[in-house]
């Protein structure tokens, strides 16, 4: 089995890679990281095969507060141009979109909690690892949304947010929500972002979010399936 050199970008201490870590350990892939909230450096483009970009409370346009965002966006663009497998989650998906020249902007409403996503109607659900075959309840925590990159495949939408996911070429995936969520990662997000849990049409309370434990397994299984799909592509 081919070993995949995985590098991930983390923006805040409380948004790690969730269940992706389980898959990496199980498959013995080497993993490195850049944590922008610590003293950090980025690897050379030839030093990794996959790039995974995690979430965070900042926006892609907050370069005055987080100067490393410009460097990060340039790095992501170079990884895409270099043919790397790139997976972005929440802020990570927005950073991919911005790196490809797309507009990232505030959505009409924030979406925080457990809400349904669906595949877009034109999506060939039964032939794709990205199929959810109907509706699936997943964890969200986002206020911004993005335009879809030219030539990408629109994968998912929700009632609150039209563009929930896209596939660019065969190897670049943006997910606005959190297939990788675990009870531990959601607890950390809720604890560190509790001031955002104000009444809203698509904002759930802390207790409601933490009590909905039945949805993790299905989300994680799809995350594992997607990772395995990219792994199989890597071996070709």
pLDDT in tens, 164-179: 999 999 999 999 999 9
Count of structural domains, the chain: 1
Q: Note whether residue 17 is domain-resident.
A: yes
17-41 tens-digit pLDDT: 999 999 999 999 999 999 999 999 9
157 within domain boundaries:
yes
- CA distances from residue 90 to 93, 122, 164 in whole angstroms, order as listed: 5, 23, 9
Question: What are the backbone dihedrals phi and psi of residue 81, each rounded to the nearest 5 degrees, phi first?
Answer: -65, -30
Of the candidates 87, 94, 30, which has an alpha carbon nearest to the alpha carbon of residue 222?
A: 87
160 in a domain, yes or no? yes
**Tokens standing for residue 67:** 């100067």
In a domain, residue 227? The reply is: yes
Identify the band that residue 234 occupies on the pLDDT scale cut at 50, 70 and 90: confident
The answer to whether residue 1 sits within a structural domain is: no
HEC sequence for 105-144: EEEEEEEEEEEEEEECCCCCHHHCCCCCCCEEEEEEEEEE
For residue 130, give its domain range: 6-235
The CATH number given to whatever domain includes residue 123 is: 3.40.50.880
The dihedrals phi and psi of 62, each to the nearest 5 degrees, come to -90, 45
């Amino acid at each position: 089995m081919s070993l995949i050199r995985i590098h991930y970008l983390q923006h805040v201490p409380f948004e790690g890679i969730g269940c992706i870590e389980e898959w990496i350990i199980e498959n013995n892939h080497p993993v490195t990281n850049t944590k922008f909230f610590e003293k950090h450096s980025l690897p050379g483009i030839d030093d990794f095969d996959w790039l995974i970009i995690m979430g965070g409370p900042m926006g892609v346009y907050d370069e005055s507060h987080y100067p490393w965002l410009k460097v990060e966006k340039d790095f992501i663009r170079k990884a895409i141009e270099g043919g790397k497998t790139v997976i972005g989650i929440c802020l990570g998906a927005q950073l991919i979109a911005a790196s490809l020249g797309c507009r990232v902007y505030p959505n009409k409403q924030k979406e925080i909690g457990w809400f349904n996503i669906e595949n877009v109607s034109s999506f060939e659900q039964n032939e794709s690892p990205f199929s959810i075959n109907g509706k699936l309840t997943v964890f969200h925590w986002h206020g911004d949304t993005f335009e879809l990159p030219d030539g990408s495949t629109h994968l998912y939408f929700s009632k609150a947010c039209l563009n929930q996911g896209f596939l660019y070429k065969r190897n670049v995936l943006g997910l606005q929500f959190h297939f990788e969520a675990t009870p531990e990662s959601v607890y950390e997000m809720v604890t560190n972002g509790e001031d955002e849990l104000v009444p809203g049409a698509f904002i759930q309370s802390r207790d409601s979010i933490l009590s909905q434990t039945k949805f993790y397994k299905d989300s994680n299984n799809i995350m594992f399936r997607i990772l395995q799909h990219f792994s199989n592509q890597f071996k070709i």
